[in-house]
Structures are given as structure tokens and as C-alpha cells.
Amino acid sequence: MDKITSYKPLWSLPVIVAALGYFVDIYDLLLFGIVKVPSLQGLGFNEKEIAHVGTLIFNWQMGGLLLGGILWGILGDKRGRLSVLFGSIILYSIANIMCGFLPYFPNDKENLTYTYIALRFMAGIGLAGELGAGITLVSEVLPKELRALGTSLVAGVGLSGAVVANLTVKLTEEWNVAYFIGGGMGIGLLLLRFGVLESGIFKETKKSKVSRGNFFMFFTNWDRFWRYIRCIFIGLPTWFCIGILAVYGNVFGKALGIQGGIDPGDAIMWGYIGISAGDIFSGILSHWLESRRKSILLMMGFTLISVIWILSGTIHSANMYYFMCCWFGFGTGYWAMFVTIGAEQFGTNIRSTAATSIPNMVRGMVILMTISFEGLMGMGQSALVSAAIVGFVSFALGIYSTWSIPETHGRDLDFVEE
């Protein structure tokens, strides 16, 4: 009975609201990747234009995440975790609702391109605040022995939003309706957040005169800077798998000679089915091993097997490719552990800045991955070889950083950075 009672904090309102918030966040974050082709076709773009414009919009969205990660992180440390949770969801909900109205805009390709870019950039800025603020709040309100389970629960529930996004597009058969639904869910979630209280640790820090939300503190001390950079590198394999192997599923379908090709939306969906399960498993694994580093290294190794299998060129059926997406999804399900490490590495006065900017720095790195991937193909390399080169760099940096960063399991978070 005592054991059951001790786990009650996992079902508290902050954890539930953070999980639902991340669910909506992931739904909206990946929606463009799922509706990229049908939305641009519906707006009058041809196949060649879709490839160029689609990558352009995607990169601007990821750029918005990069910028928003810094802005929301600073705000979370200066004004509080809840201010980010409210402000970010309002911004990306409005942006998604506006995306739903794109078919009713004047049918001018140039203006539609710039408008779509602007809206996804705006959505990216808004989406950047959700995960970091949620993980920071949950990490600070839960007992330290439950942090791994709590943050994994948030991610496990949240990441299933990708599955719902893909199913929503298929069931509604109208890409813009999926945008309306995403925006509507965000507005609905806003109402739930009024019952959530601010972190007690943050309230105590707010009373002191210590500098809060100073992004430049990551660059004024070598040890702090190197911890920050390694936190970012730990997340690279996750977005290599989703941002390259899943989002470019149609490219790999052709390269592997798969009859009927690969639907990127389905590849993303199966990837996130795996990620959702993997995130819950990684939290249990970290709790059992009493180590963030060991659990992430094991998950990375498991992921690497599926990546090598895909890039070996031996997969020739769509079902097998989707199975591999689920496999690498499960392996990259250490996303919550990765963000938790980012929160635990730094003091309360810059914790939100770290936990919010780090995952969005990783998302922003997808821009370099896509440019490198497409650049290598443009230089005559095959899709498989190009992906292998980008993947090698991502996994090498990720494995080294995980192995070398300080362990944070069980660390007391009531401290500040001077």
C-alpha cells in the first residue's frame, strides 16, 4: 500500500497537464511533415516545387523552434514556468488555425509560400516552449526519485500526438481540417492550465538576487558551456532518425526500390509509436539502473542496429521499412531522459533556459542535417550513403557526449548557477 501511495505524485495535475501539453505540441510540430505533400498540392504546387518549397517551410519551422527555444527558456527563468506554458500554446494555436485558412487565401504561389513559411515559423516559435517548460516544472515538483518516471510519462503520452496527427489527416481527408483540430486542442488545453501552480523551487529562487534567465551564462564558464553543448549532442540521433529517415521516407523508398514507395506520414507515425513506448521504457530503465547515462547509451545502441539495417540497402518492402521506423523510434525514446538531463545539469536560475533551449537546438540542427543530406545527394552520393555520413556524425557525437557528461540521477535540484 505504501508503495502505491508513494507513486501518487506521478498523477498530479502538473504531470497530467504537461503530458497533454506535449501531446498537442507533438501533434502540431509534426503535422506539416505529414500534410506537406497534400497541402502543397492543394495549394497548386507541382511535384518539383513541392520538394523545394516543402524543405524551405520545414527548415523555417525548425528555425522558429531554435529561436523560440532561447526566448521561452529565458522567459521561463525570469517570469516563471507557467508563463511559458500559457504564452507558447496561445502562439502556436493561433498559427495552426491560420494554416487551416490557407486554401482561402488568393491563389498566388509566391504569396502562399511566404505566408506558409511565416505561419510555420510562428508556430515553431510557439511550439519551442512547451516541452522544456513542462519538463522543468515536472522535474521541480516531483520527488527526485520519481523524476525519471514522471518526465518519461509526460513524453510517452505526449509523443503519441504524432500518431493522432497522422490518423486525423487520414480520417478527415482534408489537410486543413487537421490544422483546425490542432489549434482547437491547444485552446482547450489552455483552460486546464489555470489550475496548475508554479514550482516552489522557482518561487524561492525568485526571492534571491541571483541572475535568472541569462542565456549568456552558458558561454561565460567553460565547464558550463561544455555541459550545455554535450546536452545538445545527446539528442542528435533522435532527430536524425525522424528528420531524415522518416521525413524523407519517400526518398528512401525509391532508393531501396520499394514497390508502392514509402509514405512519410506513415513513417513518422510508426516512428512515434515506437518513441512513445520507448520513452516510457527509458524512464523505467533509468529508474532501475539508477543512471541516466547507462539507459541512454543502451537505447542508442539499440537504435543504431536499425539504422545500419536500413542503410545497408537490404530492405525491399514497405512493411519492413515501417517496422524499422518503429524500431528506431523505440530506441530514440530516450528523448525525455535527454531533456531531463538538460534540466538536471543546471541551476534553478537558468534551468528553464537550458531545458527549453537544448531540445530546440537539436531540432534546429535538423536544418544542418537536411542541408547536408541534400547537399551530399546533389554531389552525386546516393540517398543511403548521404544518410550514412550524416548519421555517423550524429551518433558519434551523441554516444561520446552521453558517455562523458556528469551523471544526474538523484541529484538535488535546489541549487543555482553563479
Residue 221, classed as helix, strand or coil, is: coil
Q: Quote the cell numbers at residue 335.
A: 528523448
CA 329 to chain centre: 12
Specify the pTM: 0.79
The domains found in the chain, sorted by start residue, are 2-191+214-404 (1.20.1250.20)
Which stretches within 79-192 are classed as H helix?
81-100, 109-141, 147-158, 161-172, 175-192
What pLDDT does residue 6 have? 65
In contact, 50 and 37? CB cutoff 8 Å: yes
Give how far Cα 224 sits from Cα of 294, 335, 344, Å. Answer: 22, 21, 12
Q: How many CB atoms lie within 10 A of CB 341?
A: 30
Using alpha carbons, list the distances in angstroms from residue 339 to 148, 351, 353, 363: 10, 11, 12, 12
Interatomic CA distance for residues 114 and 298, integer angstroms: 43
Of the two residues 229 and 200, the one the predictor is more confident about is: 229
Q: Which residue has the higher pLDDT, 409 or 81?
A: 409
CA distances from 247 to 300, 330, 353 (A): 20, 17, 28
What are the φ/ψ torsions at residue 320 (nearest 5 degrees)? -70, -35
Contact 105, 112 (CB under 8 A): yes
Cα angle 328, 33, 235; round to 5: 40
Decide: 201 and 348 in contact? Cβ < 8 Å. Answer: yes
Angle made by CA atoms 320, 178, 326, in degrees to the nearest 5: 20
Residue 3's pLDDT band (cuts 50, 70, 90): very low
**Contact present, 413 and 139 (Cβ < 8 Å):** yes
Which one, of 228, 277, 270, 237, lies nearest residue 393 by Cα? 237
Residue-level pLDDT at 5: 43
Average pLDDT over residues 94-100: 94
Give, rounded to a whole angstrom, the gap between the first and last alpha carbons of the chain. Answer: 43
Tell me the pLDDT tens digit for each residue of 289-339.
989 899 999 999 999 999 999 999 999 999 999 999 999 999 998 987 888
Q: Is the separation of the CB atoms in 69 and 130 below 8 Å?
A: no
Q: What is the dihedral of CA 402, 384, 315, 279, to 10 degrees?
A: 30
Q: Hey, what's the cell of 128?
A: 519551442
Lowest mean pLDDT among 7-11, 42-46, 108-112, 382-386: 7-11
| Grid cell 495535475 in the structure block, residue | 13
What digits encode the pLDDT tens for the residues 50-77? 888 988 898 899 889 889 888 888 888 8
Buried/exposed code over 284-307 (b: 16+ C-beta within 10 A; e: otherwise): ebbbeeebbbbbbbbbbebbbebb
| Class of residue 143 by CB neighbours under 10 A (exposed 0-12, middle 13-18, buried 19+) | exposed
